[in-house]
Amino acid sequence: MNKYIERLQNGIFKENPTFVLMLGMCPTLAVSTRAINGIGMGLSTLAVLILSNMVISLLRRIIPGQVRLPAYIVIVASLVTLTELTLQAYMPALYESLGLYIPLIVVNCIILGRAEAYANKHPVGLSVMDGVGMGLGFTLALTVVSMLRELIGNGTLFGARVLPASIEPMAIFVQPPGAFLILAVIIAVMNALGIKSRQRHLVEEGCNGGCAACGRACDQRKGTDEK
């Protein structure tokens, strides 16, 4: 049982995909304008991640190693399409506000990264828990970022006014530059507190190693450098 709990803690804290592994930056920056969008995006990704980890773990002995990446991409793309259609049917408002970023879950590094780093080597139960942990960690991170942005940029939280009207909200924080700024501040605070993250890896090495396809590019580059 402990192994399952450990997976949850690992995803939420120790290897938080956003703050520690620095994966999935695009949706983190793009949809975090309002807290409700952040949670919606987080939960959509969570659903895809659990299902993709489950399917890939079940098929791990069947998919040949050489074509595993295309196979994973097809599996993930199918699951994303399912999620997209479900959202469109039952949550049209959220579907509208997330828009383009729902189909783009396919290229979210977290999903391929977990498939490659965990699900294709471990049994189904653990892989599902890994998906739950990572998905919750991502949801938590997105919620934190989007709550900060909504509070500072709009003076509200989940649409309800929190800051008194006398404080003028800084609208720049719900606009694109605010996303970069908030993330910069969060990472700087983590640095100051001594929390280790792979941010140096992200900006210094050109790709975040957890991601399958990026990892491949890294290997190739190392290969050519050595020649």
Residues in contact with another protein by CB under 8 A are: 22, 25-27, 29-30, 70, 73-74, 77-78, 80-81, 84-85, 100, 103-104, 106-109, 112, 172, 175-181, 183-185, 187-189, 191-192, 199-200, 202-208, 211, 213-214, 216-217, 220-221, 224
Residue 215 CB, nearest distance to another protein (Å)? 10
Nearer to another protein, 26 or 162 (CB): 26
The CB-of-117 to another protein minimum distance in angstroms stands at 15
Find the distance separating the first CA and the last CA of the chain, reported in whole Å.
Answer: 48
Q: Is the Cβ of residue 124 or residue 181 nearer to another protein in the bound state?
A: 181
What's the CA angle centered on 203, arms 147 and 110, to 5 degrees?
55
Q: Which is nearer to another protein, 8 or 187 (CB)?
A: 187
Sign of CA dihedral 184, 185, 186, 192: positive
Nearest to 135 by CA among 49, 197, 214: 49
Nearer to another protein, 11 or 24 (CB): 24
Residue 156 C-beta: closest distance to another protein, Å: 22
Q: How far is the CB of 173 from another protein (least distance, A)?
A: 10
Q: Smaller CB distance to another protein: residue 82 or 162?
A: 82
The sign of the dihedral angle between the CA atoms of 51, 56, 57, 59 is positive
Give alpha helix (H) positions in 59-123.
68-90, 92-98, 109-114
Q: How far is the CB of 109 from another protein (least distance, A)?
A: 7
Q: Are 105 and 27 in contact (CB under 8 A)?
A: yes
Least distance (Å) between residue 175 CB and another protein: 7
CB of 22 to another protein, least distance (A): 7
Hey, how many other C-beta atoms are within 10 angstroms of the C-beta on 160?
7
3 state DSSP class of 160: strand
**Cβ closest to another protein, residue 35 vs residue 128:** 35
Q: State the helix-helix crossing angle for 176-193 and 124-154, rounded to 10 degrees.
A: 110
Quick one: CA torsion of 98, 158, 128, 122, rounded to 10 degrees? Answer: 80
61/196 with CB nearer another protein: 196
